[in-house]
Amino acid sequence: MKIGFIGLGIMGTPMVKHLLEADHTLFVNSRSGLPPSLAGYQLTVCASGKQVAEQADAIITMLPDTPDVDAVLFGSKGVSEANLAGKVVVDMSSISPIETKKFANRIEQLGGHYLDAPVSGGEVGARAASLSIMVGGPQIIFEKMLPVLQLMGKNITRVGDNGDGQTAKVANQMVVALTIEAVGEALLFASHAGANPEMVRQALLGGFASSKILEVHGERMVKRTFDPGFRIALHQKDLNLALKSAQEMGLALPATALAQQLFNSCVAQGGEAWDHSAMICALERLSDFSISAQ
Amino acid sequence: MKIGFIGLGIMGTPMVKHLLEADHTLFVNSRSGLPPSLAGYQLTVCASGKQVAEQADAIITMLPDTPDVDAVLFGSKGVSEANLAGKVVVDMSSISPIETKKFANRIEQLGGHYLDAPVSGGEVGARAASLSIMVGGPQIIFEKMLPVLQLMGKNITRVGDNGDGQTAKVANQMVVALTIEAVGEALLFASHAGANPEMVRQALLGGFASSKILEVHGERMVKRTFDPGFRIALHQKDLNLALKSAQEMGLALPATALAQQLFNSCVAQGGEAWDHSAMICALERLSDFSISAQ
For the cut 80, the answer to whether the pLDDT of residue A70 exceeds it is yes
Q: Which of A233, A206, A234, A225 is nearest to A277 (CA)?
A: A225
Quick one: how far is CA A65 from the chain centroid? Answer: 10
* Rounded (5°) CA angle A19-A156-A221: 100
For the cut 90, the answer to whether the pLDDT of residue A25 exceeds it is yes
Q: Express as a percent the part of chain B with pLDDT over 70.
A: 99
Angle between helices B66-74 and B97-109 (to 10 degrees): 10
Segment A75-102 mean pLDDT: 97
Taking only the tens place, the pLDDT of each residue in B4-49 is: 999 999 999 999 999 999 999 999 999 988 999 999 999 999 999 9
For the cut 70, the answer to whether the pLDDT of residue A293 exceeds it is no
For residues B289 and B113, give the distance between their C-alpha atoms in angstroms, rounded to a whole number. Answer: 53
Q: Which of B203, B287, B284 is nearest to A173 (CA)?
A: B203
End-to-end Cα distance, chain B: 58
Under the banding of pLDDT at 50, 70 and 90, the label for residue A228 is: confident
For residues A164 and B26, give the distance between their C-alpha atoms in angstroms, rounded to a whole number. Answer: 58
Cα-based distances in Å from B138 to A273, B61, B80, B117, B253: 42, 18, 20, 12, 30
ipTM for the complex? Answer: 0.94
Q: Which CATH number fits domain A2-161: 3.30.70.20, 3.90.180.10, 3.30.9.10, 3.40.50.720?
A: 3.40.50.720
Quick one: how far is CA A260 from the chain centroid? Answer: 17
Residue A157 is predicted with a pLDDT of 97
Q: Which of B20, B24, B27, B25 is nearest to B48 (CA)?
A: B27
Active site residues of B: 169
Q: Which amino acid is at B211?
A: S
List CB contacts of A270: < 8 A, sequence separation 6 or more. Answer: none
For residues B294 and B290, give the distance between their C-alpha atoms in angstroms, rounded to a whole number. Answer: 8
For residues B41 and B25, give the distance between their C-alpha atoms in angstroms, rounded to a whole number. Answer: 11
Strand partners, B3: B26, B58
Residue B275 DSSP code: B
> In angstroms, what is the C-alpha Rg of chain B?
21
Nearest to B289 among A187, A199, A251 (CB): A251
Residue B293 is predicted with a pLDDT of 55
Segment A29-55 mean pLDDT: 95
More confident residue, A73 or B229: A73
Top residue of A175, A178, A235, A241 to mutate, by most chain B CBs within 10 Å, is A175
| Mean pLDDT over the full length of chain A | 96
In chain A, residues under CATH classification 3.40.50.720 are: 2-161
DSSP codes of every residue in B141-161: HHHHHHHHHTTTEEEEEEEES
For the cut 90, the answer to whether the pLDDT of residue A59 exceeds it is yes
* Rounded (5°) CA angle A27-A32-A33: 45
Nearest to B209 among A158, A176, A286 (CB): A176
Q: DSSP alpha helices (H): ranges in chain B?
A: 12-21, 49-55, 66-74, 97-109, 122-128, 139-149, 164-192, 197-204, 212-223, 232-249, 254-268, 279-287
SS3 B5: strand
Q: Which of A66, A59, A134 is nearest to A100 (CA)?
A: A66
Nearest to A155 among B154, B174, B206 (CB): B206
B279, B266 Cβ separation under 8 angstroms: yes
Taking only the tens place, the pLDDT of each residue in B185-227 is: 999 999 999 999 999 999 999 889 999 999 999 999 999 999 9
For residues A148 and A150, give the distance between their C-alpha atoms in angstroms, rounded to a whole number. Answer: 5
Q: What are phi and psi of A189, to 5 degrees?
A: -60, -50
* Count of CB pairs separated by less than 8 Å, A with B: 270
Residue B22 is predicted with a pLDDT of 97
| Mean pLDDT over the full length of chain B | 96
For the cut 70, the answer to whether the pLDDT of residue B177 exceeds it is yes
Taking only the tens place, the pLDDT of each residue in A133-147 is: 999 999 999 999 999
Residue A278 DSSP code: G
Cα-based distances in Å from B139 to B67, B142, B233, B247: 27, 5, 34, 30
The CATH superfamily label for domain A167-293 reads: N-(1-d-carboxylethyl)-l-norvaline Dehydrogenase; domain 2 (1.10.1040.10)
Can you give the three-state secondary structure of B188-223, one letter per residue?
Answer: HHHHHCCCCHHHHHHHHCCCCCCEHHHHHHHHHHHH
In chain A, residues under CATH classification 1.10.1040.10 are: 167-293
Segment A144-168 mean pLDDT: 97
For residues B17 and B151, give the distance between their C-alpha atoms in angstroms, rounded to a whole number. Answer: 10
Minimum CA–CA partner of B202 in chain A: A157
For residues B283 and A209, give the distance between their C-alpha atoms in angstroms, rounded to a whole number. Answer: 21
Segment B67-83 mean pLDDT: 98
Strand partners, B91: B61, B116
Half-sphere exposure of A234 (CA within 13 A, CB side): 17
Q: For residues B168-181, b (16+ Cβ closer than 10 Å) or e, as one string?
A: bbbbbbbbbbbbbb
Segment A198-209 mean pLDDT: 94
Minimum CA–CA partner of B131 in chain A: A207
Minimum CA–CA partner of B176 in chain A: A209
Element housing A120 (H / E): strand A119-120
Q: Would the CB atoms of B172 and A163 count as touching at under 8 Å?
A: no
Minimum CA–CA partner of B291 in chain A: A251
Q: For residues A79-88, b (16+ Cβ closer than 10 Å) or e, as one string?
A: bbbbebeebb
Nearest to B202 among A157, A252, A289 (CB): A157
Under the banding of pLDDT at 50, 70 and 90, the label for residue B122 is: confident
Q: Would the CB atoms of B171 and A204 count as touching at under 8 Å?
A: yes
For residues B19 and A294, give the distance between their C-alpha atoms in angstroms, rounded to a whole number. Answer: 38
Q: For residue A253, list chain B residues with Cβ-Cβ distance below 8 A.
A: 185, 188-189
Quick one: how far is CA B8 from the chain centroid? Answer: 15
* Rounded (5°) CA angle B205-B286-A163: 45
